[in-house]
Amino acid sequence: AARLVGLPPVIARDTRLVVLGSFPGAASLAARQYYAHPRNQFWPLLGALWGVDLMAMPYRQRLAQLRARGVGLWDVYASCRRAGSLDSAIEEAQPNDLASLRRRAPSLRALAHNGGESARFMRATAALGVPVVRLPSTSPANASWTFERKLDAWHAVFAGAGVTGAA
């Protein structure tokens, strides 16, 4: 498999919660957009949390909604080799500079790992001195959790970080 390079972080100085994925899937890399696969539940979950139809918005507007609420996005891996989109196929992964998160987002209150592969970095991210949680993956591969169950878990984390309100 060819070496793949991930997406740049979506993080501002006033970001309070960063959601860390593992590495963008093929659809996201092709579109150069986080969570671009039509069956990934990331954008529908956040839309349900905030009462906004994020799926109807262009990507730039979705990112503006995140920023307005203090939410950032990044991945634990900067690059890797992988055939397809499954985390289990990731090889020769190079991590992102997660230690830079405190500098990039001085208002950081919490980190949320989106799924198990990302959560493998919880020990490293816990060293940043903010609460770190593992969220159920929004990937279509995580079919064992219903949308409602994921929404409950995500709501609790977003409420704890103070990022559930209006933009």
For the annotated catalytic residues, the residue numbers are: 40
The Cα–Cα gap between 146 and 123 comes to 28
Q: List, in sequence order, the alpha helices (H) in 5-99.
A: 26-31, 42-50, 59-69
For β-strands 17-21 and 71-75, DSSP reports them as parallel
With residues binned 3-state (H G I as helix, E B as strand, rest as coil), the percentages for the chain, rounded to 5, are 35, 20, 45
Of the candidates 14, 49, 19, 13, the one whose C-alpha atom is nearest the C-alpha of residue 34 is: 19
The Cα–Cα gap between 29 and 35 comes to 9
Of the candidates 7, 12, 11, 56, the one whose C-alpha atom is nearest the C-alpha of residue 34 is: 7
